[in-house]
């Protein structure tokens, strides 16, 4: 596993660390719940399909209504998946089929076309980053995730992906910062994120003493 450290371009990793630090300089010292802001009463009854993305993220971060928060998470992911192009949708579908079959080379062929034809489509970069990660191409995955976060800084899935990569590269402090930022945005992330935070915190806090 340690060999991957040398394959991950330093510039991509450094750029992502800088983005995390600039976006949330005090994140490690602040629990996710403290960053959440409850939606206004009128927003609490507004149909999710009529909400703006900002309103959806506010609903997602509200700890008062678990069911509505999880529904907001799904609505955000649904909107992220929209490309607005039948061609891109078809390429993404073919890429997903190839990914399911573990034909990573073919998946990358389709996703290369997606990011070339529609470079402002964050989910294309995110999906390609996933394939690079599965191929242990961590540097390329980090580079694509950087593009995702430029397009959508609140992409909790991409942030969790950074945490996973940094954790495997034994960059514990950077992994913790990424996981905590992801969880602060989406408190409904899978349990693996919370487990990683619990495992990383003692080591990182011990290094800071």
The rounded percent of the chain whose pLDDT value lies above 90 is 69
User: What's the CA gap between 136 and 100, in Å, rounded?
Assistant: 17
What's the pLDDT score for residue 46?
86
Q: For residue range 62-83, what is the model confidence (pLDDT) as tens digits?
A: 878 899 999 999 999 999 999 9
- Decide if 144 contacts 126 (C-beta within 8 A): yes
187 — phi, psi (to 5°)? Answer: -70, 0
pLDDT at 195 over 80: yes
What six digits make up the tokens of 18?
A: 């800088």
Scanning the chain, the segments in alpha helix (DSSP H) are: 4-7, 10-23, 32-35, 41-44, 53-61, 66-81, 86-100, 104-117, 122-134, 138-151, 156-168, 172-185, 191-208
Q: For residue range 99-154, what is the model confidence (pLDDT) as tens digits?
A: 999 999 999 999 999 999 999 999 999 999 999 999 999 999 999 999 999 999 99
Please compute the mean of the pLDDT values over residues 167-182 and round it to a whole number. 95
Q: Provide the CB-side half-sphere exposure for 138 (13 A, CA).
A: 24
Q: For residue range 163-173, what is the model confidence (pLDDT) as tens digits?
A: 999 999 999 99
What's the pLDDT score for residue 16?
63
153-164 exposure pattern, b = at least 16 Cβ within 10 A, e = fewer: ebbbbbbbbbbb
Q: What is the pTM of this model?
A: 0.81
> In Å, how far are 110, 133, 158 from 128, measured between CA atoms?
9, 9, 11
The CA radius of gyration of the chain, in Å to the nearest whole number, is: 18
The domains found in the chain, sorted by start residue, are: 32-81 (no CATH), 83-152 (1.25.40.10), 154-209 (no CATH)
What's the pLDDT score for residue 31?
38
Residues 6+ positions from 55 with CB-CB distance below 8 Å: 39, 43, 46
- Decide if 170 contacts 5 (C-beta within 8 A): yes
């Amino acid at each position: 596993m340690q060999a991957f450290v040398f394959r991950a371009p330093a510039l991509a990793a450094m750029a992502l660390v800088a983005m995390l630090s600039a976006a949330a300089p005090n994140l490690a010292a602040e629990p996710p719940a403290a960053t959440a802001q409850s939606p206004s009463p009128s927003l609490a009854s507004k149909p999710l399909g009529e909400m703006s993305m900002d309103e959806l993220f506010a609903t997602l971060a509200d700890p008062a209504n678990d069911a509505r928060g999880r529904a907001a998470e799904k609505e955000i992911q649904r909107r992220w998946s929209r490309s607005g192009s039948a061609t891109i949708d078809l390429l993404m579908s073919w890429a997903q089929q190839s990914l399911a079959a573990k034909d990573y080379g073919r998946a990358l062929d389709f996703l290369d076309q997606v990011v070339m034809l529609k470079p402002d489509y964050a989910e294309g970069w995110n999906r390609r980053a996933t394939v690079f990660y599965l191929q242990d191409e961590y540097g390329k995955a980090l580079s694509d995730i950087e593009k995702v976060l430029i397009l959508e800084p609140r992409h909790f899935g991409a942030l969790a992906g950074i945490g996973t990569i940094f954790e495997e590269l034994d960059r514990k402090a950077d992994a913790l910062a990424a996981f905590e930022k992801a969880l602060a945005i989406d408190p409904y992330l899978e349990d693996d994120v919370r487990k990683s935070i619990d495992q990383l915190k003692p080591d990182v806090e011990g290094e800071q003493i």
